[in-house]
Structure 1
């Protein structure tokens, strides 16, 4: 079982799940982390759930809803609506956990963090952007952002990030956290919260994935600055608190839907805060159920290869499947329509991890870490 420290105990230098390095080998097959790791089970499980929801959402909107379903029941609409209910949870919780894990690194000198946290993530973003651009050109039917010109590629590299925007955001967010680390946390979080509210209300131009970039800075910074409070919240999570937070999240979503308040100033960030509180509570309670939390935690420790590989895999599968599945008869589609998103999500993740293992086997670890990074870290 993973050792969990009390929220008052200082954590030693920990294995960092967000620092890009070739440690994403599949070494956690026993259900326990590598020795010496002090990673919290709830945080890894939360990341595992987040990456599942990310892939599921992409499967639903980019493949499942593009199929011509003629089954006479509104199941595709159900899957689309269900995915939308997790929009305030997926990336805000993902970035909050990333901020929690980045708290120690933000206190270290620039020279120790700039290579892995800033240069490392920007390197990965650039490398995989080129790969995505090439692969997505072979699947033009997939509805997703893609660069179709040199100028478009330059724009995605700089100001309007692609589907890989999480990597771009981590480098930017960590730079901001380092630059403001001596400032009172309120002076950093309040402007970030205002930016999130302004972007969510549609008051800023947000082409591509800029909206996510603007809206999630506050959650990364909250995870970084409020780490002790978040760890204490997770350590004291109870079934009663889980019931209350889940009810609050559901009621807030219902109220937003009834009133059409999604674009009201401050509403979306406020609901995302409720979602993150619920997500941390649920992950903490889940940590006591090892049969489910252990596989999710293992998945949460290998999010990088899934994140960067799943879109090209999905694009190629979409090219292979969309026409044949659309052409099936009503009875055959009736057998597929309910479970198709779950089956395809599992297939995409499985193939992504298989590709990752294959790339490592042929010594292409440079696709998952800045070259020389492991040697630099070993010399510290």
Structure 2
């Protein structure tokens, strides 16, 4: 996710004047990640949501719906304040009180993953008594007509509409997703990659991004590949441990990296555009990787500093740990009865 933002919102905004098409290659890679990154994230989120959705409304409301809504509102205000100082940075941000209210309610900002999770949890709980195939089919139709451009999708509303089906897929098909990951092989990794690459190539060659159902099918192949790749990587102990450690820090990276990237963009885009041809040729290939690592490291350092000064309210609602401890204690007591 961070790499995609680095490429699209910063790297491609630099004025490159080199004789090799490295920037366009990075741009093409960024486009290929679109059907992969959010569908995979939401499928995995749905898998982890399966137990939470079974809890009573009161518990789910406090532990998930209110938490994600709170984090979205807090960080939307922070993003709005910081991004106002970088008006040329290419991401949606509120320019007025009305815009801010709209982003808080009906047109989510670049923090829309938090917004979506809050509403997805509420929706999944509300429709628990409806047959799952009906709900999954309706979500698939919503994804298809959104990708086809039938619905208006200002801001990041399109992603919100398109990815409900993947959250519900992870939620409803959890045993199958877990079995798919547990039985992943190198052969399946290669096969799913080939299928995903072929689907991407065919979609791009035909200009079929807005054809009904095409985006959804390509995204499903992306999820199959993404989960297989994650499962295989996790079996390499060093890589798996590193990914697990990074996964536990996903929230601070997610909420901090965008305003941080915007500020870095403000100070770096001019000097990078002004580099000579040799300097740009040296930087072009590896610059997105290096800057992504810098942004992630700085995000974690900022998070560490904020926690050190007891600003934990930026990353969880006040009293969240106390409520979680009480919930855990209640569950343990219930198990002893």
**What range is the shorter-chain TM-score in?**
over 0.9
State yes or no: 1:127 paired with 2:74: yes
Whether the 8 Å contact between 2:69 and 2:115 is mirrored in structure 1 is yes
State the alpha-carbon separation in 2 of the partners of residues 239 and 371 from structure 1.
Answer: 45
Compute the displacement of 1:79 (Å).
Answer: 0.2
| TM-aligned CA deviation for residue 291 of structure 1 | 2.0
Determine the structure 1 residue equivalent to 2:113.
Answer: 166
Instruction: Indicate if the aligned counterparts of 1:116 and 1:370 stay in contact, CA closer than 8 A.
Output: no
What corresponds to 1:278 in structure 2?
Answer: 225
Match of 1:302 among 239, 246, 249: 249
2:209 aligned counterpart, secondary structure: helix
Deviation at 1:346, TM superposition (A): 0.4
2:280 is matched with: 333
Does structure 1 retain, via aligned residues, the 8 Å contact 2:234–2:243?
Answer: no
**1:210 corresponds to which of 139, 157, 162:** 157
> CA offset at residue 221 of structure 1?
0.5
TM-score, L = length of structure 1:
0.85
| C-alpha contact 2:253 2:300 (8 A) present in aligned 1 | yes
Within the candidate set 239, 248, 266, 1:292 is matched to 239
How many residues align? The count is 327
Structure 1 regions of 5+ residues with no counterpart? 1-53
User: 1:145–1:208: 8 Å Cα contact kept in structure 2?
Assistant: yes
3-state DSSP of counterpart to 1:83: helix
Distance 1:279 1:133 in 2: 32
- Give CA deviations for 1:12-65 in whole Å, capped at 9, x if unaligned: xxxxxxxxxxxxxxxxxxxxxxxxxxxxxxxxxxxxxxxxxx101111111111
Give the Cα–Cα distance (whole angstroms) in 1 for the partners of residues 305 and 206 of structure 2.
50
- 1:283-311 CA distance string (max 9 Å, x none): 11112111222211211121100000000
1:256-271 equivalence runs, <5 A: 256-271=203-218
Deviation per CA, 1:175-200, whole angstroms, max 9, x where unpaired? 01101122221011000000000000
Q: Does 1:238 align with 2:238?
A: no
For residues 296 and 71 of structure 1, the distance between their equivalents in structure 2, rounded to whole angstroms, comes to: 35
Match of 2:335 in 1: none
Q: Distance in 2 between matches of 1:373 and 1:301?
A: 17
**In 2, Cα distance between the equivalents of 1:293 and 1:304?**
19
User: Aligned partners of 2:187 and 2:281: how far apart in 1?
Assistant: 39
Cα RMSD (Å): 0.8
Aligned to 2:126: 179
For normalisation by structure 2, the TM-score amounts to: 0.96
1:225 aligns to 2:172 (yes or no): yes
| Runs of 4+, deviation exceeding 6 Å | none
Q: Would you say 1:69 and 2:11 are equivalent positions?
A: no
- Counterpart check, 1:343 vs 2:290: yes
CA separation in 1, counterparts of 2:210 and 2:221?
17
Structure 1 residue 136 corresponds to structure 2 residue 83: yes
The correspondence of residues 333-372 of structure 1 with structure 2, limited to 5 A, is 333-372=280-319
Aligned equivalents of 1:92 and 1:128: distance in 2? 23
Q: Within 5 Å, give how 1:248-263 maps onto structure 2.
A: 248-263=195-210
Contact 1:160 1:209 in 2 (8 A): yes
Aligned counterpart, 1:12: none
